[in-house]
Structure formats: structure tokens, C-alpha cells
Amino acid sequence: MMSLTRSYGAAGLALSVMAGFAVTPPSVAGQTAPVMVTSDTPQYCLHLLDQVSELMRLAPAPPPEVTSLSTAGQRMCGQGHTRGGIMRLRRALVLLKEHSLPP
């Protein structure tokens, strides 16, 4: 009932062009309760911070950007800017993994 095929938008537009009235893709957001995403929470922020710290501890000489990103991410998560903090910690993780890969 709530499932929507990926082509409904194009078909809707085609119908609207042919029939001359608007068919906006129906949003299910208003018809069912949204599911919570757990990777935007302060808990996830701490989880990422643990991962970054662990990798930094194992890395012989982590890049300086990693340190600054990790610090900024930790500060932002502490100040309530969870998504911004998580984004910086993720970038720090990606840099650390790239750095630890053999050349």
C-alpha cells in the first residue's frame, strides 16, 4: 500500500503533462511514523570518538588533520552540534584508514 516504485515520479509527470493537472509524488512521511536514524545521536558520536582514538593510538604518526578533526568533532558533539561533530569524526576516520593502508 505504501510502497512506491521508483518510476512513479516520471509517470506522474507524464500524466500531469498529458492531463494538464499537477500530480506531486505522494509523500509517505505524512502517512506513517518516521523511523529514527541512530547514527545522528550523541551516543553514536561517542562511538565514533572511541574508534578514532583507538586508531590514533595504533597509528605511528597520524596526520595532523586527523587530530584537528577529532578535536573539533569532540568539541562540537559536546556543544550539541551532533551532526557536524559526527561528520568531522567520520572524515578523521577515513583519513586514518587511508593513512594506515600499506602504500
Partner 1 sequence: MFRSAGVRFAVVYALLLAASAAALALFLWWSTAGLLDRQTETAIRADAQGLSERWEEGGLPALVLTIDERLSGNVDDDAVYLLTNARMQRVAGNLAGWPSIVREPDTWYELPVQRAGILSLALVWRYDLPGGYHLLIGRDVQVRAQLRRLLTDALLWALVIVAAMAVAGALIVRSLLRRTLANVSTTANAIAAGDFAQRVKLSGRGDEFDQLAEVINDMLDRIGRLMDGVKQVSNAIAHDLRTPITRARARLEEASLRASSPEALRAAIDRATADLDGIVAVFQALMRISEIEAGSRRSAFATLDLAPPLADLAELYGAVAEEKGVTLSADIPERLPAHGDRELIQQAVANLLDNAVKFSPPGGTVRLQARPAAAGVEVLVADQGAGIPPEDLKRATERFFRGESARSTPGAGLGLALVQAVAQLHGGTLRLEDAAPGLAATLSLPAPEEPAHG
d(CA 98, CA 78): 27
d(CA 26, CA 3): 11
Segment near partner 1 (CB under 8 A), from 9-17, 59-67, 70-78?
Answer: 9-17
Q: Does 37 bind partner 1 (CB under 8 A)?
A: yes
Tell me which residues in 40-59 interact with partner 1 (CB under 8 A): 40-41, 44, 48, 51
In this chain, which of 20, 60, 64, 103 binds partner 1, going by CB under 8 A?
20
Q: Is 34 helix (H, G, I), strand (E, B) or coil?
A: coil
Please report how close the Cβ of residue 9 comes to partner 1 at its closest, in angstroms: 6
Question: In this structure, what is the dihedral angle of CA atoms 34, 37, 42, 45, given to the nearest 10 degrees?
Answer: -170
Return the C-alpha cell found at 88: 568531522
Please report how close the Cβ of residue 45 comes to partner 1 at its closest, in angstroms: 11
